[in-house]
Amino acid sequence: MMDRIIYKAAAEGNIDVLITQNADQLEGQVTPQKNTVLHVAAQFGQTDCVKVILDKCGQSLLCSVNNKGDSSLHISSRDGYADVVWELIKYAKKDMDPESRTRTTKKMLRLRNVEGDTALHEAVRNENNVDVVEILTREDSKFEHPPNNAEETPLFLAAERGNSMIVSKFLENCRSPTYSGPNGRTALHAATIHGYKECVKILYLLKPSLTKEADVYGWRPLHYAAWIRNPSMVRQLLDLDESVAYLVADEDDNKTSLHIAVSRGNVKIMNEILSRCPDCWEMINTRAQNILHIAVEHDEQETIKFILENSFGKKLINQKDTDGNTPFHIAAANHSIYWKYWELFSHLGDKKACNKKNLMVKETRDRRLRAPEGSRNKFKVPKKKEEAPKIQNEFIEKITELGDTALIVAGLIVTVTFTAGFTVPGGFESDDGVNKGMAVLGRRAAFIAFAVTDTIAMLFSIIAVFLLLISFTYTDANDRCKHKLIKRRVWALWLITAAMGAMVVAFMTGFYATLEPSLGLAITICLICCGFFPLFFFVFWKRIDEDIDDNLRAT
């Protein structure tokens, strides 16, 4: 443990205390995290203390690291203490021959902590550290600044955060910085994904070829701009280099940026690309699918309409993919699209065209064409797309738990309503005669309403139990089974809701039948019961229904 007097002096800038200490006393002091007294002074930005400690201890503490592998330069760079950073670098170059001075300075600047971060990595994470970045890049201008353990270079981090001033410092001071990031993406990919136009401009000036560099999925920055539905970013990238619109994703079905815009249903981006590169519509993916195939396959109705309204639409509708399917075949297999655009498709498309299975369009109308595995998009948007399956799986777990509870509720309603049918309000006639065993209140309107609604509640809850039991058979993990499971349980919840409403009406009418002589009390009970419906439907069910509806579309 560090001596508390020395620690407070270094943290609070009390140089008088430090001057009285000898070098051995200062060098032997460390905190629980193995921070030296130089770390402490740097951590709190005490420039004068840093000078005193360096003068007393010399080079021994300059490159010392703590438990996380951080040197004093790491810490001061992270917190933006430019004066401390400069003092550390200045001392590294002090009183040495040129070769040793250069070696010591480079060692300190290039030192990596346990996460593989240099001091420059730490500096660029804070947008206010422009001065620190300028010092670090200027003092080691020939260094490439390689990636850390997370495959992030300092330039990639700066672009990802949209700090154009820091990116500019790289342009001014570094001769050949590294641009790479995770999954093969470059700093231009990062700036594009996050929509930082100024960074895109600076990076292009620094290295124009970045617009054509692909990540591990074969995606260029323009692919990402189309994916995130950013027309202005697409426009900027095309202004810089229109030829990138023709580049395909080699590792992802040979998609172009236009193909991605079509699959995302963004007509503005399609229009932007086609206005610059009007022959882009001819390009196909690895399955020989054109943009109309893709639009129909993804059920993007606005995109379909846009394509068919353009002159090239009639050229696309009869083109066949590797399976011999025209867009008309795929549309015929998708009933919602087929009937909505029947007139357009039937007017332009060849209804007698056969695919490789020798099926004409009419023969595919009642069949579902299954897209091969290769049609699934390999690209994963950072954070966003990776979170989508998690959200769906959480909803499946939620609907499963809700189904278990609903089964118990439905069973209780069946029991209660069945019992109420044989213990009717008012009882039965006990006197001998033709009416013996009949309900005493059987001829009253309120009793008739009770009998009808009690029966409805019982039947609805029985059907709900049946649907819930069926839903337990859908144990497969594929999307189709998930969709069926949710559908069955949604219907069951609706039926249980209706059964509960009918049960409340049965309770209300049953009481009214027995309390009719006390009219005031009977009406009061009816009014109280009526309050159930707005409370239940607008407060409880509306929230459940919205949640189910949103997630049902996702499956």
Which residues have CB under 8 Å from 35's CB, separation 6+? 2, 43, 66
Instruction: Name which of 458, 472, 477, 374 is nearest 420 in CA terms.
Output: 458
Instruction: Name which of 406, 414, 368, 542 is nearest 486 in CA terms.
Output: 406
pLDDT in tens, 273-290: 999 999 999 999 999 999
pLDDT in tens, 55-113: 888 778 888 999 999 999 999 999 999 999 999 999 888 766 667 777 888 899 999 99
What b/e string do you get for 419-442 counting C-beta neighbours within 10 Å, with b at 16 or more? Answer: ebeeebbeeeeeeeeeeeeebbbe
Q: Output the pLDDT for position 72.
A: 95
Confidence of residue 538 (pLDDT cuts 50, 70, 90): low
Instruction: Name which of 200, 295, 294 is nearest 244 in CA terms.
Output: 200
pLDDT > 70: percent of the chain: 75
491: pLDDT strictly greater than 50: yes
Q: Of 25 and 430, which is predicted with more confidence? A: 25
Q: Output the pLDDT for position 440.
A: 64
The two structure tokens encoding residue 303: 């995109």
Q: Output the pLDDT for position 300.
A: 85
HSE toward the beta carbon, residue 41, CA cutoff 13 A: 28
Q: Output the pLDDT for position 432.
A: 63
Q: Of 148 and 550, which is predicted with more confidence? A: 148
- Domain 1-114 falls in which CATH fold? 1.25.40
pLDDT in tens, 146-170: 999 999 999 999 999 999 999 998 8
1: pLDDT strictly greater than 80: yes
Average pLDDT for 351-356: 51
Least confident of 189-203, 342-356, 359-373: 359-373
Instruction: Name which of 508, 383, 530, 514 is nearest 450 in CA terms.
Output: 508
Q: Domain locations in the chain?
A: 1-114, 385-554
457: pLDDT strictly greater than 90: no
396: pLDDT strictly greater than 70: no
pLDDT in tens, 209-218: 999 999 999 9
Backbone angles phi, psi at 45, to 5 degrees: 65, 30
Can you tell me the distance from the alpha carbon of 206 to that of 187, in angstroms, rounded to the nearest whole number? 11
Q: Output the pLDDT for position 245.
A: 96
DSSP sequence for 392-429: HHHHHHHHHHHHHHHHHHHHHHHHHHHHHHHS-TT-B-
Average pLDDT for 515-523: 68
40: pLDDT strictly greater than 70: yes
Confidence of residue 413 (pLDDT cuts 50, 70, 90): confident
Average pLDDT for 520-549: 62
Which residues have CB under 8 Å from 293's CB, separation 6+? 316, 319, 321, 325, 327, 330
545: pLDDT strictly greater than 70: no
Q: Of 494 and 110, which is predicted with more confidence? A: 110
Least confident of 135-139, 254-258, 331-335, 414-418: 331-335
The two structure tokens encoding residue 158: 């700066």
DSSP sequence for 115-131: TS--HHHHHHTSTT-HH
Confidence of residue 260 (pLDDT cuts 50, 70, 90): very high
Q: Report how far Cα 405 is from the mean position of its chain's Cα atoms.
A: 30
Confidence of residue 223 (pLDDT cuts 50, 70, 90): very high
Q: Output the pLDDT for position 445.
A: 80
Q: Of 192 and 325, which is predicted with more confidence? A: 192
Average pLDDT for 496-505: 82
Q: Output the pLDDT for position 476.
A: 54
Instruction: Kindly report the pTM of this predicted structure.
Output: 0.64
Least confident of 83-97, 240-254, 450-464, 481-495: 481-495
User: Between the ranges 120-134, 225-239, 334-348, 536-550, where is the mean pLDDT highest?
Assistant: 225-239
pLDDT in tens, 316-353: 888 888 888 888 777 777 665 656 666 666 566 555 55
Confidence of residue 541 (pLDDT cuts 50, 70, 90): low
Confidence of residue 314 (pLDDT cuts 50, 70, 90): confident
Q: What is the largest CA-CA distance in the chain?
A: 126
When the pLDDT of each residue in the chain is averaged and rounded to a whole number, the result is 80
CB neighbour class for 325 (10 Å; exposed up to 12, middle 13-18, buried from 19): buried
